[in-house]
Amino acid sequence: MLTSVVTGGVYPAFGLIFAKTIQMFSLTDPHERRVQGDLNALYFFIIAIGATVTMGSQVYLFSGAAARLTAKLRSLSFKAILRQDSKPILSLCKCSLTDAPSVEYFDRDEHSVSSLVLPDLEIG
């Protein structure tokens, strides 16, 4: 949360320092202009370092949260799959053996898929 607040303040801080830098060019004394320019450059550098640290930590924290969420969702979905009622292997085998005559229907040429879909065309 803190990193998001600091990251959100980066661009307004850049805007304030940029306004001070533009205002610095109106100074008539070259020495004072140099001192203010160096000070503003230091502020820009400090803001850039802070932005780098906060944005890096924000990415790190968000990726950690995403990894934990993904692991939790995978675990919950795996548990849900295991809880589902499934038929035993023997009943699956029995069902496929009793369905064999209905599958033989498509083994004959007059009942092939191509003759059922395209009855007017002679194939073969």
CB of 37 within 8 A of CB of 21?
Answer: yes
* Apex 117 CA angle, 115 and 121, nearest 5: 55
Which residue type, as a one-letter code, is found at position 99? D
Is the CB of residue 6 less than 8 Å from the CB of residue 56?
no
Do 22 and 2 contact (CB within 8 A), yes or no? no
Inform me whether the pLDDT recorded for 80 exceeds 90: no
What pLDDT digit, counting tens, does each position of 26-53 carry? 888 999 999 999 999 999 999 999 999 9
pLDDT of residue 43: 95
The whole-angstrom separation of Cα 104 and Cα 97 is 12
- Residue ranges of the domains in the chain? 2-97
More confident residue, 96 or 53: 53
